[in-house]
Structure 1
Amino acid sequence: MQLIWLRSDLRVTDNTALCAATAVGPSVAVYLLSPQQWLEHDDAPCKVDFWLRNLHELKQALGELNIPLLIRHAPRWEDAPNVLLDICLRLNINAVYLNEEYGIHETRRDAAVTEALKAQGIDVHRYLDQLLFKPGSVLTKTGTYFQVFSQFRKACHERMYRSLPSLVSTPMAQAPLSIASDEIPTHIEGFAPPTGHLRALWPAGEAEARRRLDTFTDVQIDYYQSERDFPAKPGTSQLSAYLAAGVISPRQCLHAALQSNQGEFDSGKVGAVTWINELLWREFYKHILVGYPRVSRHRAFRAETEALAWRDAPDELAAWQQARTGLPIIDAAMRQLLETGWMHNRLRMVVAMFLTKNLLIDWREGERFFMRHLIDGDLAANNGGWQWSSSTGTDSAPYFRIFNPLSQSEKFDTEGVFIKHWLPELAGLNKKEVHNPASLGGLFGVADYPSPIVDLHTSRARALAAFKSLRPRQSAGGDYE
């Protein structure tokens, strides 16, 4: 009998390890609950709840294939070898099948499991599934991992010209086994259940993920390039949580985008090409995680930025976290995160630059806070985005490129629709006033809204000075968007 160890691949469609195991013979699946590890990794309560809800859906889908789903407790990942070995010995398992995960702790866990099982004569088969290309297979001419996205994208395009990553088949139902599936817990101690409103925003299951993908590629993808930066518009796919949990695969997303664009990935519809590039950004950050493991250790990719004199400003950090900075686009974005477990990508960059540049607070504070609240929390993407915004990462924004929250707000939420939705206390302001209530002084209608906690121009100059001390040969420029 074969054992399928499910992790961030909570689906039956296009699941490489599942397909491989069932092709060999009768199979059973297992999922490990590791709450202590999740806490150490700052996984958000809404994300853990999303996993559990998807496990409920997956149990039903596996049941239709007569594949039992076992649930076991391995509080920390170091417990995984003994827990899995116990299952293997009890069920006379011949081999364990799993899809690769990336990160230092994940790699150590899987190596320990492989060693423990092989010592007992149990084979371990590992598969590429979470990515389009295996880390280490897309390299520079000198054999190193890419550090610049445009070069990485070009290499990926060359790979796709030669051979597109293909989908794997969904298994046929196997003969029933005399093994019962386990109950899925509805909550995990230490992770407070989210609101019903948040849950309703993120229905679980492959059918919902596929519905979102089909709706996006049928209707919205043509407008993706032109509308993705406007947070009040439905311009994005809303698939990030499903990708992070593996409820849908990047291969499924790629093939759906190609189908909408006559098979083209670098020409044709600009919306489809742009969205495929976003899939490759996700890929790029995963490869960075493997090629430069220091980013898994809370270290800056650009080593010289470790010397930055970040400010210890707990009151300002708390104001940012609690959506009371006095800058409407920042506070609206943070309320969106707190209430929905998600934030629009343009706004993720805006609030990150505000924290790391205008407040000059360490990017790691923001990275941790995001992980503790994001339903789509993913180490590689979250770390990559924060280091890009803070100018400490690979292919990051130059240090003198600092988004101005006011001009970003005026450009991407011109009518103030997004701001007024999340900050109803500003609903009475017109479309010009709503971006900067402080300019009105103490007029009626903004009494309940705080004054800005920082002067944008003074704080920008402070950030430039801090970064210039690390890079004396770079021009300070005037890039304040």
Structure 2
Amino acid sequence: MSAYQLVWLRQDLRTFDHSALHHAMAAGPTLAVVILSPEQWRLHDDAPIKIDFYLRQLQALQSDLANLNVPLLVLRVELWHDIANALKKLCQTLPIANLYANREAGVNEISRDKWVIQSLKQLNINSHFFEDCTLFALGSIRNKSLQPYQVFSAFKKQCYEKLAMHLPTCYPIPEPQPALTLTLDASAFHIPSLTELGFDKIPPLQQALWPVGENTAFERLDAFIADQVAYYDRERDYPHLNSTSQLSAYLNIGMLSIRSCVNALFREQYGNFDFVSTGQQVWLNELLWREFYQHILFDFPKVSKHQPFKDHTQGLMWRDAPDELHAWQQGQTGIPIVDAGIRQMLATGWMHNRVRMIVAMFLSKNLLIDWRLGETWFMQHLIDGDLAANNGGWQWCASTGTDAVPYFRIFNPVSQSEKFDPNGDYLRCWLPELAHLNAKEIHDPYAKNPQRKLDYPRPIVDLKHSRLRALEAFKAL
């Protein structure tokens, strides 16, 4: 029996522009394996809607790989530290010559991969890891002192210089290989359901918001580039306009590669790094913020360990306010834009980015509750929950992170709501109990009439007083 190449799939569930799959199939007959780790997912606070999205895409990918005559094996290994032994056993069962996978940035992911490399080396199996989740190799963007950047603008400038020299190229879908004959039990190919893995079922209406399949991801990308990107800079902050790409969930599980997004962005310029609209540039900057946080995660392992990026903020005196935290978690704070954002997330698994910032700053500044509690709640409910981006965003809002907002710059959620949802359309969508209020009243319904009767809570905190409290807490550092 000839030796096989084994592709280990992780957060890269696609066939187009897949570095590890491309190199494995170029080297010889190839098998693919995915390892499901529900207990590890719980430890990482992964949302059931995100896991369901992953499993549904896995079904689609198994079919796509079958068209390439690449069998997809499915292993269940509860915790990552047991994966090395599981892969070793698999490689003893099948004649595996090489392992191929794409690199990941987190501390636990890096440790897991080191254990696998060492374990397979005992069987004389070589492991090949490729740069695939970022535009530029992790650890490759450095300042003149060969240190990682801690400020986004400087990081972005170097990325621009690299992109101007050469836009990233995408690997095509590999040609089908000759059919393989595997004598394995059918259970080795079974993709379990969410309930089989011990999670609650996701409502079909929620699933319908997030269809799977590489073609679906590309259709969404192409529609955004064709119809919305030119206006992105002007409309992206208005949550009622639905003007963002909403591709984060597809990027997060690797149904779509970051290189595909950049190539689509410059398709009309025939692959030249040349902006024709401000919206195009602003969307690229958003992709580079994602890139920046991935590199931060890799270069500063403390970010993976629930520590603030700015060490001195470890001493912040966060409030222990369980009732206020619960009100925030359920969208019952009495601050409409905050509650609308939380309810959007609980209902759909996604929240508009401008609203995420407002919601996060309200928790970490106005309520002065530890940002890590908010970070966890987001991860437990977001379909696009990504450690690097979620942590980066929360630490930005809490003024504890790299290149974060200055501690004295605190969003007023009512002013933000009036500015970015002027007619209250977003609020009416998610707060039906306020739908009858006019555009002036809806953002702060008790402001001019504290005694009015509404089926909606009064604010749990005074915005002016709580702002001063946050300023004092940061000054005390």
Shorter-chain TM range is over 0.9
Q: Match of 1:372?
A: 380
Q: Is the 8 A contact 1:337 1:373 kept in 2?
A: yes
Partner SS, residue 156 of structure 1: helix
Note if 1:98 corresponds to 2:101.
yes
Cα distance in structure 2, aligned partners of 1:17 and 1:100 = 9
Cα distance in structure 2, aligned partners of 1:115 and 1:431 = 62
Note if 1:449 corresponds to 2:452.
no
Deviations 1:189-236 (A, max 9, x none): 332122111101000111110010000001111011111000001211
Query: Which of 452, 464, 467 is the matching residue for 1:460?
Result: 467
Q: Is the 8 A contact 1:312 1:361 kept in 2?
A: yes
Note if 1:185 corresponds to 2:192.
yes
Cα distance in structure 2, aligned partners of 1:265 and 1:239 = 22
Cα distance in structure 2, aligned partners of 1:270 and 1:302 = 32
The aligned amino acid for 1:225 is D
Cα distance in structure 2, aligned partners of 1:262 and 1:3 = 35
Deviation at 1:90, TM superposition (A): 1.1
Q: Is the 8 A contact 1:266 1:273 kept in 2?
A: no
Cα distance in structure 2, aligned partners of 1:174 and 1:440 = 71
Note if 1:254 corresponds to 2:257.
no
Deviation at 1:156, TM superposition (A): 0.7
Q: Is the 8 A contact 2:324 2:460 kept in 1?
A: yes
Consecutive unaligned residues in structure 2, runs of 5 or more = none
Deviation at 1:161, TM superposition (A): 2.0
Deviation at 1:453, TM superposition (A): 0.2
Q: Match of 1:479?
A: none
Choose 176-185 or 395-404, whichever is displaced more. Answer: 176-185
Deviation at 1:441, TM superposition (A): 2.9
Q: What TM-score, normalized to structure 2?
A: 0.97
Task: Sort the Cα spacing of 1:227 and 1:265 in 2 relative to 1 into closer, same or farther, 3 A.
Answer: farther
Note if 1:306 corresponds to 2:311.
no
Partner SS, residue 240 of structure 2: coil
Deviations 1:122-158 (A, max 9, x none): 0100000000001211101101110000000001111
How many residue pairs get aligned? The number is 469
The aligned amino acid for 2:467 is R
- Report matched runs for 1:139-178 at 5 Å: 139-178=142-181
Q: Is the 8 A contact 2:167 2:272 kept in 1?
A: no
Q: Match of 1:8?
A: 11
Task: Sort the Cα spacing of 1:310 and 1:261 in 2 relative to 1 into closer, same or farther, 3 A.
Answer: farther
Cα distance in structure 2, aligned partners of 1:303 and 1:345 = 26
Consecutive unaligned residues in structure 1, runs of 5 or more = 471-481
Q: Is the 8 A contact 1:17 1:97 kept in 2?
A: yes
Q: Match of 2:345?
A: 337
Deviation at 1:163, TM superposition (A): 2.3
- Report matched runs for 1:424-443 at 5 Å: 424-441=432-449
How many percent of aligned residue pairs carry the same amino acid? 54
Cα distance in structure 2, aligned partners of 1:190 and 1:359 = 34
Deviations 1:237-284 (A, max 9, x none): 110000000000000000000114554546321111111111110000
Q: Match of 1:203?
A: 211
Note if 1:394 corresponds to 2:397.
no
Q: Match of 2:282?
A: 274
Q: Is the 8 A contact 2:167 2:273 kept in 1?
A: no
The aligned amino acid for 2:163 is M
The aligned amino acid for 1:386 is W
The aligned amino acid for 2:12 is D
Task: Sort the Cα spacing of 1:399 and 1:442 in 2 relative to 1 into closer, same or farther, 3 A.
Answer: closer
Q: Is the 8 A contact 1:332 1:423 kept in 2?
A: yes
The aligned amino acid for 2:25 is T
Task: Sort the Cα spacing of 1:108 and 1:256 in 2 relative to 1 into closer, same or farther, 3 A.
Answer: same
Q: Match of 2:226?
A: 218
Note if 1:87 corresponds to 2:95.
no
Query: Which of 289, 312, 323 is the matching residue for 2:331?
Result: 323
Query: Which of 393, 401, 416 is the matching residue for 1:408?
Result: 416
Q: Match of 1:473?
A: none
The aligned amino acid for 1:395 is D
Q: Match of 2:47?
A: 44
Deviation at 1:384, TM superposition (A): 0.2
Q: Is the 8 A contact 1:325 1:450 kept in 2?
A: yes
Q: Is the 8 A contact 2:105 2:138 kept in 1?
A: no
Query: Which of 135, 138, 142 is the matching residue for 2:138?
Result: 135
Cα distance in structure 1, aligned partners of 2:297 and 2:208 = 32
Deviation at 1:440, TM superposition (A): 4.4
- Report matched runs for 1:104-143 at 5 Å: 104-143=107-146
Q: Is the 8 A contact 1:265 1:276 kept in 2?
A: no
Deviations 1:309-346 (A, max 9, x none): 00000000000000000011000000000010010000
Q: What TM-score, normalized to structure 1?
A: 0.96
Deviations 1:276-315 (A, max 9, x none): 1111100000000011110110000000100000000000
Partner SS, residue 202 of structure 2: coil
Q: Is the 8 A contact 2:167 2:263 kept in 1?
A: no
Partner SS, residue 189 of structure 2: coil
Deviation at 1:164, TM superposition (A): 2.0
Cα distance in structure 2, aligned partners of 1:360 and 1:442 = 24
Query: Which of 64, 68, 87 is the matching residue for 2:71?
Result: 68
Query: Which of 77, 80, 88 is the matching residue for 1:77?
Result: 80
Partner SS, residue 238 of structure 2: coil
Cα distance in structure 2, aligned partners of 1:454 and 1:194 = 34
Partner SS, residue 125 of structure 1: strand
Cα distance in structure 1, aligned partners of 2:201 and 2:261 = 30
